[in-house]
């Protein structure tokens, strides 16, 4: 099939999930939405008194300039503030004891150390935590909302963060994809999600004075010793449609003198925005995950409508040319298992053929149900048979254990609480929590 011309419908979108799922003949694929991306409804509205939390070094230097710090002192002062923000987790300027009282007072008059507010917290039976965060909206009484999920495991703690309020795309199996796109997050809002998680989990170094006036370079806080050791950009939104903010926010997260999460422990997930995949490798340098989910353009057009713009061949060519790609830095291909849709052994064999020559891991994701979806998760025996075909071809094919299903925190389920559940949906969620 040829590419579809992009048509923007602003806030309007078709509930493609309501299309029949019993057959995926070409005639039904043609019923998929003709448009690909949604347009943002709003823009970021900066508060009158901005927060320093999430700012890059360059923006911190600019903030110091605004309060009259001489240029010759700014680099040292930036390092001091950086340490207090991203190593100690300071929540008020008085805690920054390596700064003079005069400077602390000047900063407090012009700026804050406010974080995104946690409007609600849900804790799953498996320990997964989901936070609904309030962000500034165009009206003070109507904050924007995003979700952030923390997944504890024995060897790591993974934080799943968002890049947009809502999502640009319309993937039909994804709960977040049914939400409108309100706006892109700023770089500071992206980095601040890690700060909020460390606040909530008590994941900062002990509040003791730094060893030097400039702070401790490369402070000893190995990722394995931190509750938040890994970050995945797999929350709400398509990261590569908010490229500059994602790049700048993740660079704050990866800075070795601050939050210090190695780029090898940061994974950016995309549905396949081909022009920005190479840029992500060159300018961000994180690990890459690609939401593939189908082995033919006809089916992927239905599941991931972005495929109409960037079909599978172009997507895989971009993956083969991803900067830094090697057996040590493999691309993860995400493949959600949908019963009777994409889970046949013929699909498994076709997937192996498609990815030939790409250092890859194939992450099989049992479909996480959400209220109103028409899809079902593949039977476990079928998932195992599918995995065996891939493993026999020489690829790692782990099956992702569903986490946080009872609080709609699992992969593909994120959707902010601003979209209220109906009584029927609440009953469905309650039943899901009792059976999973």
Reference 192, options 118, 101, 290, 274; nearest CA is 118
Q: Which of 1-5, 185-189, 253-257 has the lowest mean pLDDT?
A: 1-5
pLDDT at position 42 over 50: yes
DSSP H or E run through 282: helix 274-283
pLDDT at position 335 over 90: yes
DSSP H or E run through 289: strand 287-291
Is there a catalytic annotation at residue 148?
no
Residue with tokens 């999930």: 17
Sheet hosting strand 157-160, strand order edge to edge: 117-123, 129-135, 144-152, 157-160, 230-233, 266-270, 287-291, 331-337, 360-366
Of 22-26, 304-308, 429-433, which one has max mean pLDDT? 304-308
pLDDT of residue 174: 82
pLDDT at position 154 over 80: yes
Is there a catalytic annotation at residue 244?
no
pLDDT at position 13 over 80: no
Reference 174, options 403, 432, 372; nearest CA is 372
Identified catalytic residue from 37, 145, 147, 238: 147
pLDDT-derived band of residue 407, with 50, 70 and 90 as boundaries?
very low
Which residues make beta-bridge pairs with 377?
338
Domains of the chain: 57-110 (1.10.150), 116-435 (3.20.20.70)
How large is the average pLDDT for residues 25-41? Answer: 57
pLDDT-derived band of residue 36, with 50, 70 and 90 as boundaries?
confident
pLDDT of residue 23: 35
- Work out whether the CA dihedral 321, 322, 324, 330 comes out positive or negative: negative
End-to-end CA distance of the chain: 39
How large is the average pLDDT for residues 127-146? Answer: 89
CB atoms within 10 A of CB 221: 15
Q: What is the pLDDT of residues 256-281, one digit of tens each?
A: 999 999 999 999 999 999 999 999 99
Identified catalytic residue from 160, 171, 377, 411: 411
How large is the average pLDDT for residues 404-419? Answer: 47
pLDDT at position 374 over 80: yes
Cβ atoms of residues 30 and 19 within 8 Å: no
Cβ atoms of residues 229 and 265 within 8 Å: yes
pLDDT of residue 399: 83
Assigned token pair, 345? 């052994």
């Amino acid at each position: 099939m040829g590419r579809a011309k992009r048509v923007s419908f602003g806030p309007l979108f078709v509930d493609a999930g309501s299309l029949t799922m019993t057959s995926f003949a070409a005639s039904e694929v043609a019923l998929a939405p003709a448009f690909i991306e949604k347009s943002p409804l709003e823009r970021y509205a900066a508060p009158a008194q901005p927060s320093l939390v999430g700012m890059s070094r360059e923006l911190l230097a600019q903030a110091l300039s605004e309060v009259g710090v001489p240029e010759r002192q700014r680099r040292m002062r930036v390092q001091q503030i950086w340490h207090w923000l991203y190593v100690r987790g300071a929540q008020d300027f008085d805690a920054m004891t390596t700064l003079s009282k005069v400077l602390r007072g000047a900063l407090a008059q012009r700026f804050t150390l406010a974080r995104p507010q946690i409007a609600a917290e849900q804790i799953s039976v498996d320990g997964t935590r989901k936070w609904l965060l309030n962000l500034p909206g165009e009206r003070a009484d109507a904050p924007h909302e995003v979700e952030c999920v923390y997944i504890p495991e024995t060897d790591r703690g993974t934080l799943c963060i968002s890049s947009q309020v809502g999502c640009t795309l319309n993937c039909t199996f994804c709960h977040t994809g049914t939400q409108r796109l309100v706006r892109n997050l700023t770089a500071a809002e992206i980095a601040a999600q890690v700060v909020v998680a460390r606040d909530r989990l008590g994941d900062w170094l002990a509040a003791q004075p730094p060893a030097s006036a400039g702070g401790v370079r490369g402070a000893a806080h190995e990722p394995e010793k931190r509750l938040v050791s890994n970050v995945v950009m797999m929350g709400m939104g398509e990261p590569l449609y908010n490229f500059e903010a994602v790049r700048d926010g993740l660079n704050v997260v990866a800075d070795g003198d601050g939050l210090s999460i190695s780029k090898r422990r940061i994974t950016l997930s995309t549905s396949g925005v081909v022009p920005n995949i190479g840029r992500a490798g060159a300018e961000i340098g994180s690990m890459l995950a690609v939401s593939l989910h189908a082995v033919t353009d006809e089916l992927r057009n239905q599941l991931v409508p972005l495929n109409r713009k960037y079909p599978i061949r172009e997507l895989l060519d971009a993956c083969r040319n991803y900067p830094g790609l090697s057996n040590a830095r493999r691309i993860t291909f995400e493949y959600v298992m949908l019963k009777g849709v994409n889970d046949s052994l013929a699909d498994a064999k076709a997937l192996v053929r498609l990815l030939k020559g790409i250092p890859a891991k194939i992450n099989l994701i049992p479909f996480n149900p959400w209220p109103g979806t028409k899809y079902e998760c593949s039977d476990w025996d079928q998932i195992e048979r599918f995995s065996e075909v891939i493993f026999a071809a020489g690829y790692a094919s782990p099956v992702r254990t569903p986490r946080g299903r009872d609080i709609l925190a699992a992969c593909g389920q994120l959707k902010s609480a601003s979209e209220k559940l109906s009584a029927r949906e609440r009953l469905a969620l309650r039943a899901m929590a009792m059976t999973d």
